[in-house]
Amino acid sequence: MKIRSLIALLLVSSGIIFAGASIPQGLSVRSDGNNIIIAWQAVSESNVKQYVVQRKSGNSEYIDIAWVNPRSDMNYEVTDKEAYKSSGTWYKYRIKIVDNDGSESFLEQAGIVSHNVSSVKRTWGSIKALFR
């Protein structure tokens, strides 16, 4: 019975420790009306090579939108200025944590974020995308 309790405790704890990073507060995602801000804070990092911020909209697959190298203060914030170009009405984000040995783990956003942007901004974003 003690072994089952230990295994259950390890499974619960695994939601806090991802690869070489410990991120107890999880992922914070909010819309400021123009952009979406993704933030997280690690309390420890060992062997972390990089964080990759990923976004999905609607039923689409996750796409990489930003790459962040570890910093000494372990406070991270990424602004997604391209969210209005997606056709979905809601967004979900996650962080892919890549270790130096190539192993990966994911920190999922707890819920979804709705991002309402004016049709003018959405249209302008579509026009700009044509010229890329």
Residue-wise pLDDT for 25-80, tens only, equals 888 988 877 788 999 999 988 889 999 999 988 788 999 999 999 999 999 999 99
Q: What is the mean pLDDT of residues 85-93?
A: 71
- pLDDT value for 118: 54
The pLDDT value given to residue 121 = 53
**Virtual torsion, Cα 29, 33, 35, 41, nearest 10 deg:** -30
State the CATH class of domain 2-124.
mainly beta
- Count the Cβ atoms, other than its own, within 10 Å of residue 130: 6
- 68-76 long-range CB contacts below 8 Å, 24 or more apart? 70/42, 70/45, 74/41, 74/42, 74/43, 74/44, 74/45, 75/39, 75/41, 76/39, 76/40, 76/41, 76/42, 76/51
